[in-house]
């Protein structure tokens, strides 16, 4: 059995372009919410001197992540910014001194067992770098390690344009396999599967070369079919198991980790330098020189574009991530986040929304949904405020991948409606306020 999806134009323009390190910006804006869960608490104040790797935001209890300074310099102020989802997020604004001096406490962590490994991952500030932003130490902190039969390394990178994971496999293959070795040693896992789409030939060859002498690692070459990198799809297409409704990969014996996240964890174990920079694919029809750029976290998107030769024209839309699941940014002053794997700038023609016409009942949305949901019925139930029907229609498991909208000949905003319907269905079981 294989979950299906859609064929889309890959536009992997930067796959062969080795990442270049941009100049250190004069100012960075480092948000305290760059992960799923609770925001970190600011622990510095205006006027404080900070260095690269210094802790400036302490993770809240539970689901959260530490935040570190990406530059050396002085804290100009603590403030709030409006995130791309319109929420207010606390941030630390740092004026760089250009020296990039490393914090004196930076040192490789002492790791000798599972507990110290998880503590190190937490201290690194690692989150899902494929875009999800889930704190990595929470994902890896499995109470019963015997439940883990597979670690699936997500190297699919199925969205158009994005090639930052591809470059990790080519340029940092050594760290990918050191990450595998660390999980094998401290989590006692013996089966690793690297799931990678077949359009990444150079990366596949590099991964196969490193895996040649490792009997625990299997390279699973998958069709180039969106959304191959979605967790539910990847699990089924690599180990032939279906994650139950409302469940996690661990329910079928798997842990899924992004390939760049894995490589970063391995690099942190060697250097002790926490997550302070990110390789970002900068592309789109409005970008002069598409490339992969290594940028300090907190760099403005405006400066990121300048490092890519500037813009050809005034962009009509700029998004974090790829064009299928990416989030539009309200301003070019928005910062590079931990989980920013790409920034795409579209010209007027590429960003133009097609005219919407009435649904013709063709069923293309359902036939092309990887989970076989019925977006037409979901839209009807949403308009009728029928929360019970939304629950029965399983809108809660929608991945928001956008396949339905992509194939709809009437150009209906199906994925947008699904997102709203998920919120409405979720309120069905929510407790009324006191």
310-326 tens-digit pLDDT:
999 999 999 999 999 99
DSSP per residue, 284-339? STTBSS-EEEEEETT-BHHHHHHHTT-BSS--SEEEES-TTT-EE-S-TTPBP-TT
The per-residue pLDDT for range 125-155, each reduced to its tens digit, is: 999 998 778 999 999 999 999 999 999 999 9
Q: What is the mean pLDDT of the chain?
A: 95
Question: d(Cα 122, Cα 126) in Å, to the nearest integer?
Answer: 7
Give the pLDDT of residue 83: 84
The CA distance from 54 to 299, in Å, is 17
> Rounded to 5 degrees, what angle do the CA atoms 125, 21, 313 make?
105
Q: In the prediction, which pLDDT does 85 show? A: 79
Q: In this structure, which long-range contacts are made by residues 184-188, counting pairs with CB atoms below 8 Å and at least 24 apart in sequence?
A: 184/216, 186/111, 186/113, 186/114, 186/117, 187/114, 187/117, 187/140, 187/142, 187/145, 187/148, 187/151, 188/145
pLDDT at 432: 45
What DSSP character marks residue 409? T
Return the structure tokens found at 107: 């040192």
Interval 224-251 mean pLDDT: 95
pLDDT of residue 4: 67
Using pLDDT thresholds of 50, 70 and 90, give the confidence band for residue 428.
low
Report the C-alpha dihedral over residues 81, 82, 88, 94, rounded to 10 degrees: -20
Q: What is the pTM of this model?
A: 0.95
Closest CA to 405 of 198, 227, 222: 227
CA angle 397, 401, 403 (to 5 degrees): 110
pLDDT at position 5, please?
Answer: 80
Kindly list the structural domains of the chain, giving each domain's residue range(s) and its CATH number in brackets, ordered by start: 114-271 (3.40.50.11540), 364-426 (no CATH)
pLDDT-above-90 percentage for the chain: 93
Tens digits of per-residue pLDDT, 346-404?
999 999 989 999 999 999 999 999 999 999 999 999 999 998 999 999 999 999 999 99
């Amino acid at each position: 059995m294989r979950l299906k999806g859609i064929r889309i134009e890959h536009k992997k323009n930067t796959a062969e372009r080795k990442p270049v390190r941009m100049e250190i910006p004069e100012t960075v804006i480092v948000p305290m919410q760059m992960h799923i869960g609770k925001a970190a608490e600011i622990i510095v104040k205006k006027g404080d001197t900070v260095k690269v790797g210094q802790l400036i935001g302490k993770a809240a209890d539970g689901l959260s992540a530490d935040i570190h300074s990406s530059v050396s310099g002085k804290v100009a102020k603590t403030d709030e910014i409006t995130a791309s989802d319109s929420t207010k997020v606390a941030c630390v604004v740092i004026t760089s001194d250009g020296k990039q001096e490393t914090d004196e406490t930076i040192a490789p962590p002492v790791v000798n067992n599972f507990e110290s490994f998880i503590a190190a991952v937490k201290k690194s500030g690692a989150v899902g770098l494929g875009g999800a932003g889930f704190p990595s130490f929470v994902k890896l902190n499995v109470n019963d390690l015997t439940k883990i039969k597979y670690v699936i390394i997500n190297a699919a990178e199925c969205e158009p344009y994005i090639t930052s994971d591809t470059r990790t496999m080519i340029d940092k293959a050594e760290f990918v396999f050191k990450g595998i070795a660390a999980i094998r040693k401290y989590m006692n896992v013996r089966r690793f599967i690297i799931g990678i789409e077949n359009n990444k030939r150079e990366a596949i060859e590099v991964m196969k070369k490193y895996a040649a002498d490792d009997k625990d690692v299997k390279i699973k070459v998958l069709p180039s079919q969106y959304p191959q990198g979605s967790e539910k799809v990847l699990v089924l297409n690599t180990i032939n198991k279906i994650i139950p409704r409302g469940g996690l990969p661990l329910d079928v014996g798997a842990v899924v980790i992004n390939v760049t996240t894995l490589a970063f964890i391995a690099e942190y174990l060697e250097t002790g330098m926490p997550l302070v920079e990110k390789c970002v694919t900068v592309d789109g029809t409005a970008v002069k020189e598409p490339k992969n750029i290594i940028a300090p976290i907190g760099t403005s998107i405006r400066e990121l574009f300048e490092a890519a030769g500037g813009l050809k024209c005034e962009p009509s839309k700029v998004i974090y991530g790829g064009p299928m699941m990416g989030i539009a940014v309200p301003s070019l002053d928005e910062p590079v986040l931990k989980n920013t794997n790409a920034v795409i700038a579209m010209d007027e023609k590429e960003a133009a929304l097609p005219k919407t016409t009435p649904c013709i009942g063709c069923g293309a949305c359902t036939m092309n949904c990887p989970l076989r949901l019925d977006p037409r019925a979901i839209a009807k139930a949403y308009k009728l405020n029928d929360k019970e029907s939304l629950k029965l229609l399983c809108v809660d498991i929608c991945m928001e991948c956008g396949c339905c909208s992509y194939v709809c000949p009437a150009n209906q905003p199906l994925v947008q409606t699904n997102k709203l319907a998920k919120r409405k269905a979720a309120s069905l079981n929510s407790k009324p306020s006191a």
